Structure 1
Amino acid sequence: MKKSISIIQTTLVAAAVAVFATGCTKNLLDQMPTTEVNVDQFWKSEDDATYAVMGAYNATRSVFDRDYYFDGQGEYTKTRGTSTTSTNAVAYNPSSSAGYSPQSYGDKFDNYFEGLYGSVNRANYVIVNTQDLINRNIGNAANLQRIIAEAKLLRGMTYFRLISMWGDVPYFTKVNTTNSDVATLSRMPIAQIKDSIMADFNYAFDNLPVKSTQIGRAAKPAALAFRGKLQLFWACWNKNGWPELTGFKPDAAAAVEAYKAAAADFGHVINDYGLTLFRGGEPGAIDTLGGADILPNYFYLFQPIANGDAEMIMTFTHGGTNTGQGEELMRDFGGRTQESAQCWVNPRYEIADKYQLTTTGDFAAKLIPMDPTKAGARTTLNSAVNPASYANRDYRMKATMLWDYEKIIGMASLKSSGFAPYIYKTWGAQITLGGVNYITYNTDGTKTGYVFRKFIRNYAGQGRSDGDYNYPVMRLADVFLMYAEASNEAYGPQADAVALVNKVRHRGNLPPLTGAKYADKNTFFSAIEQERIVELLAEGQRGFDLRRWRALERIWGGVGATGRYLLDTQGAQNDRYYNNAIDRDYTRAYIYKIPQGERDRNPNLTQNTPWL
């Protein structure tokens, strides 16, 4: 395919080209590879349809399994670029590192636009050809309908992401094979696309099994959860407005109905399928400050031991070592001490104050950034460089991040190199602690004072790009919190919603919310937002939450304000966003720019108003 093909470019699967150029190994959903098979030799049996849907999963995985980068568009996660070795890195790689910062990102996602449409076209390819098998009475009709349901779920997820970023977008359900197929497509109004996505999710729910026998293949709870999430976003857009999207008119009554529908779907996911939080939602045990021999259960939720767990409603599988389909979480989150990882993603200083106290269930006194070379900095109460300031915090904090003098297992040449203490700005140095000699954790890429533990393997044997963790794009804790949000908006604080938020809090060993935290709709919303921040950190949710809530001005200060400096633990003013911002700075953050290259090739593609 020529590079100039509009929208889908080189990622499409066409009638006369190789079916799965990206490959589909046995490690991916237990299927054998299918490569270089022409359509006139393919689509002869039910097995062909099964192989094809594996390719659709692979294509969709490539635009969802690095969603953690999107957290950089919020205030609690800092990214400094993206890793660029695997196929999905192309889609996630913006035109500059500003793509994953809180400001000036809306015109940086041309590659992602292309990648999403590649996923759409792959799903369409499966749907059209599998339906043709049904029409020809080839194979088991129920099994083939399941395959169509999986492809429609993937297509719905992808179009949902497209409208969440660009609003009105081109919509098609056929297989596009040439430039002329897409050269004149116009943008369809978001309301029509939403209805089409709903139809895909409805079909998926009707035709997927209650539980899949293969890890990574979707079942009914996934369709319900994504249907609920679509309705939640639709409710938010109608309640809060989307003025940057020309032609969209918010409707308060439609918002209420959508909140109710979302709550109903989430309620079914929660109550009807026997799903439970990982390890029963119990916090587990925790080591002393500085120790890392005993880590809370939340840490293991993001390790391969959690693959196939009931909390993981929808995941994308990875093949691991020597498959070419390993995940790169260690590379992106770890430091050089872990198989020469690169520390692309870091917790910001500001997240630490969001972890509440296990003793009171409320916030601790705010941390104070201090220069560690100053006398008393390491011992001053509430100093950010005093390890004791982090005592009695939500267990998820230790499971998620490291502060000064916390330890992590190093890895080199597929072997453990022992514990390495983290000390900000002290990289790979010899140090003695408690009479034991260590080499400090080398994370010279970080500028915040903290680094992640979340997603980093604590066992040897796999390279930085060879993980086999099944990346979650929908998990039960998120559904709990979305249910609480939707039901709160529709009905006010409800006892069952409060109980679900408390279940999420319990995994951090926090006490239940006090009555004051859910006394009314606004206070309960704040409690829900708080849990979303700490529970879903670095899972790609925060930026999307801020936009659907119209909360950017609340976070950054609004038009004409001085904006906000983001600090490090030693008091440095690392980044400043929205200083003296004009209206356009915010409008361009609420909606993305239609790629100009697509508009140059297709004059029917209009542009979003802030980008004219």
Structure 2
Amino acid sequence: MTAVLAGVIIFATSCVKDLLDQQPTTDLGANAFWKTEADATIALMGAYADVRPLFDRDYYFDGHGEYVRNRGNAVTNGNLQRGDAYHASSASSAYAPSGYGQYFDKMYRYLYGGVTRTNYVIENVQRMLPNATATSLPELERVIGEARLLRGMIYFRLISMWGDVPYFSKVINSNAEVADLARLPIGQVKDSIIADFDYAFDKLPPDASEPGRASKPAALAFRGKLQLYWACWNQFGWPELQGFVPDAAAATAAYNAAAEDFRKVINDYGLELFRGGEPGEIDPPGLAEKLPNYYYLFTPIANGDPEIIMSFAHGGTGTNQGEELMRDFAGRNHEGSQCWITPRYEIADRYQLISTGDFAPPLIPMNPATPGARTADRSAVNPQSYVDRDYRMKSTIQWDYEMSLGFASLKVTNWVPWIYKAGNQEVIINGEKYISYNTDGSNSGYVFRKFVRNTPGLGRSDGNYAWPVMRLADVYLMYAEATNAVNGPQPDAINLLNKIRHRGNLPPLSGTKTANKEVFFDAIEQERIIELIGEGHRGFDLRRWRALERVWGPPYGDAVLRIDTHGEIVSRYYQNTPERTYQQNYIFRIPPGERDRNPKLTQNTPWL
């Protein structure tokens, strides 16, 4: 922990406390700060700004699943998911489907930096409470509630990756205070997180009118999510976490507690899906003037929408607080973006048919040079093969000859057609001349449309979209999962899945998909894959469900191949992979540097 706190103290103590101890001519000193609601709110906004980079690029975690590729050509030490310390070229290792558990040493340190930043707010505002007026007391308690919610979110992330972790809830002023801090059993950390979420729920308003601030539904939703994870760990086990003993009764209790929290979020606060959950309009293949509502949910149009229960706000161009979505999801034609994140070929067959509500026959990869490939039935390079699909498909990915708007210097250039392996070329489509989508980022035949803006005025790293860390659709799905685990398919849960499917213009689930617990879980997982793709959930789902072997095959098995729309093999995963690698994917490595400095920090057993 010493190295962790070295960074923490520089970050949260020197950068805040030392500055406040000075007596500049233009700012208040420490003896004049922490006096008013405004002081507390300013400090809280600083905590939000410091915690935001710990979560607002969670989409990289989708690389731990089977449907999103995070490309890269270099290996660097540690996860770098934080502001100026982030380099996407590390994605080939840190965010690949296997072998990633050793690459998150820096995230460990930065998460603890976030803990200390929130502790700093909590402790100082608590000192203000005895002298607070009757009118200021609720506002100060609200500030503490928000800081405790943020702290709970950080510790939740820590235990979901490392299991048992050191826990502290006070301001740290020297390394000596934590140099021999041992890992606390996960159950005790979980209880402390629950206490943070309880306090937040009690003190936060039902609706936060200020953009980017949390409210009661956020506290409930995160408390429910933590209970859901706790239930999964107790149901499916976590053998890689030494000393953790699964408990079926604890799993049932946690599932029920999670369901109750989610039920309140759904029923008590007047929340609804974006644009009423309606599908909206859609253009045929090759056109993109009319895009479904699901697409716009992931653009700044949706900032402040009731579906987004909690988000981290971004400032946009010129603020130095923009989001990186365009840069990471789009190509060179879109403000010089780098297309670090792309869909894998295999996601296309997960989009169901509007006509039947079920899966279509699999697409057939074909080389477009083959005569008739562009018109053959079910050909992956035939744009018409994608007709009659879930509206979320066109909202999420682009296949050959799909269009998106290009931008340069914050202005619209022209429509850009995506054509796999034919980028930056002049093409004629329906008598119109275009320059094709320029990127070498895709090796699947697809690129993302989700998160790629279709409005000018914002640079590739200067977006102003409020990144959603909790969405109502996710709550619907988690509620269905929790109730199904205990009681099987329930009418209200089935209705919630059908609401989510409706925004893709799909018909309701058939009776065969709600007949029992097993098939309904499959339907829930299907919606989690499609609805939440690119938002960072899949890797965490696979680990909490202990589903790596289901997806990638057993240890020492044959490779799972990833292909492209042309039928070429582009990667192999889990080929003859030993059991130890699976274990290391289920639990992350405690940073060796921390253990060198703190002899009480034990290592997770797969890393010994």
Same fold (TM over 0.5): yes
Q: Secondary structure at the match of 2:222?
A: helix
Match of 1:508 among 504, 517, 520: 504
Instruction: Give how far 1:449 is off.
Output: 0.8
1:150-209, CA deviations, whole angstroms, 9 ceiling, x for partnerless residues? 000000000000000000001000111322222111100000000000000000000000
The AA in structure 2 aligned to 1:260 is N
Match of 1:54 among 45, 56, 61: 45
Question: Do residues 97 (structure 1) and 92 (structure 2) align?
Answer: yes
Match of 1:330 among 326, 337, 341: 326
Q: Secondary structure at the match of 1:78?
A: strand
Percent of aligned positions with the same letter in both sequences? Answer: 60
Q: Pairwise mapping of residues 188-267 of structure 1 onto structure 2 (< 5 A)? A: 188-267=184-263
> Counterpart in 1 of 2:11?
11
The AA in structure 2 aligned to 1:297 is N
Contact 1:343–1:445 at 8 Å: present in 2 too?
yes
* C-alpha separation in 1, matches of 2:81 and 2:273: 31
- How many positions carry a matched residue from both structures? 597
Match of 1:580 among 576, 579, 583: 576
Match of 2:343 among 315, 340, 347: 347
Indicate how the Cα distance of structure 1 residues 74 and 9 shifts in structure 2: closer, same or farther if over 3 A, else same. farther
* C-alpha separation in 1, matches of 2:4 and 2:343: 39
* C-alpha separation in 1, matches of 2:592 and 2:365: 43
Q: Pairwise mapping of residues 493-504 of structure 1 onto structure 2 (< 5 A)? A: 493-504=489-500
Indicate how the Cα distance of structure 1 residues 38 and 526 shifts in structure 2: closer, same or farther if over 3 A, else same. farther
Question: Do residues 451 (structure 1) and 450 (structure 2) align?
Answer: no
Instruction: Give how far 1:92 is off.
Output: 7.7
The AA in structure 1 aligned to 2:433 is N
1:559-598, CA deviations, whole angstroms, 9 ceiling, x for partnerless residues? 1211301111111211111111111010000000001111
> Counterpart in 2 of 1:400?
396
Question: Do residues 279 (structure 1) and 270 (structure 2) align?
Answer: no
Indicate how the Cα distance of structure 1 residues 533 and 190 shifts in structure 2: closer, same or farther if over 3 A, else same. same
> Counterpart in 1 of 2:60?
69
* C-alpha separation in 2, matches of 1:374 and 1:92: 39
**Alignment root-mean-square deviation, CA:** 2.0
Instruction: Give how far 1:484 is off.
Output: 0.4
Comparing 252-261 with 3-12, greater Cα deviation is found at: 3-12
> Counterpart in 1 of 2:405?
409
The AA in structure 1 aligned to 2:17 is A
> Counterpart in 2 of 1:486?
482
Q: Secondary structure at the match of 1:13?
A: helix
* C-alpha separation in 1, matches of 2:308 and 2:599: 43
Indicate how the Cα distance of structure 1 residues 320 and 41 shifts in structure 2: closer, same or farther if over 3 A, else same. same
> Counterpart in 1 of 2:33?
42
The AA in structure 2 aligned to 1:131 is Q
> Counterpart in 1 of 2:110?
115
Indicate how the Cα distance of structure 1 residues 314 and 421 shifts in structure 2: closer, same or farther if over 3 A, else same. same
* C-alpha separation in 2, matches of 1:383 and 1:220: 49
> Counterpart in 2 of 1:137?
132
**Structure 2 portions without partners, runs of 5+:** none
1:89-119, CA deviations, whole angstroms, 9 ceiling, x for partnerless residues? 5268696631100000000011111111111
Instruction: Give how far 1:17 is off.
Output: 2.5
* C-alpha separation in 2, matches of 1:36 and 1:70: 40
Instruction: Give how far 1:135 is off.
Output: 2.5
Comparing 477-486 with 368-377, greater Cα deviation is found at: 368-377
> Counterpart in 1 of 2:602?
606
Q: Secondary structure at the match of 1:16?
A: helix
**Structure 1 portions without partners, runs of 5+:** 21-34
Q: Secondary structure at the match of 2:492?
A: helix
Instruction: Give how far 1:303 is off.
Output: 0.6
Could you state the TM-score of these two structures normalised by the residue count of structure 1? 0.95
Indicate how the Cα distance of structure 1 residues 96 and 500 shifts in structure 2: closer, same or farther if over 3 A, else same. closer
Indicate how the Cα distance of structure 1 residues 402 and 306 shifts in structure 2: closer, same or farther if over 3 A, else same. same
Q: Pairwise mapping of residues 275-424 of structure 1 onto structure 2 (< 5 A)? A: 275-424=271-420
Instruction: Give how far 1:444 is off.
Output: 1.6
The AA in structure 1 aligned to 2:64 is Q
* C-alpha separation in 2, matches of 1:390 and 1:572: 20
Instruction: Give how far 1:447 is off.
Output: 1.1
* C-alpha separation in 1, matches of 2:80 and 2:182: 34
Contact 1:198–1:227 at 8 Å: present in 2 too?
yes
Q: Secondary structure at the match of 2:54?
A: coil
Contact 1:156–1:201 at 8 Å: present in 2 too?
yes
> Counterpart in 2 of 1:24?
none
Contact 1:12–1:177 at 8 Å: present in 2 too?
no
Question: Do residues 476 (structure 1) and 477 (structure 2) align?
Answer: no
1:456-489, CA deviations, whole angstroms, 9 ceiling, x for partnerless residues? 1101111111110000000000000000000000
Could you state the TM-score of these two structures normalised by the residue count of structure 2? 0.95
Indicate how the Cα distance of structure 1 residues 93 and 330 shifts in structure 2: closer, same or farther if over 3 A, else same. closer
* C-alpha separation in 2, matches of 1:96 and 1:207: 39
* C-alpha separation in 2, matches of 1:127 and 1:108: 31
Instruction: Give how far 1:443 is off.
Output: 1.8
The AA in structure 2 aligned to 1:289 is P
Instruction: Give how far 1:271 is off.
Output: 0.3
The AA in structure 2 aligned to 1:296 is P
Indicate how the Cα distance of structure 1 residues 176 and 347 shifts in structure 2: closer, same or farther if over 3 A, else same. same
Contact 1:553–1:559 at 8 Å: present in 2 too?
yes
Contact 2:234–2:248 at 8 Å: present in 1 too?
yes
Instruction: Give how far 1:18 is off.
Output: 3.6
Q: Secondary structure at the match of 1:120?
A: helix
Match of 2:587 among 584, 588, 591: 591
* C-alpha separation in 2, matches of 1:410 and 1:95: 27
* C-alpha separation in 1, matches of 2:27 and 2:262: 41
Q: Secondary structure at the match of 2:518?
A: helix
Instruction: Give how far 1:86 is off.
Output: 9.6
The AA in structure 2 aligned to 1:457 is R
The AA in structure 2 aligned to 1:478 is D
* C-alpha separation in 1, matches of 2:366 and 2:395: 24
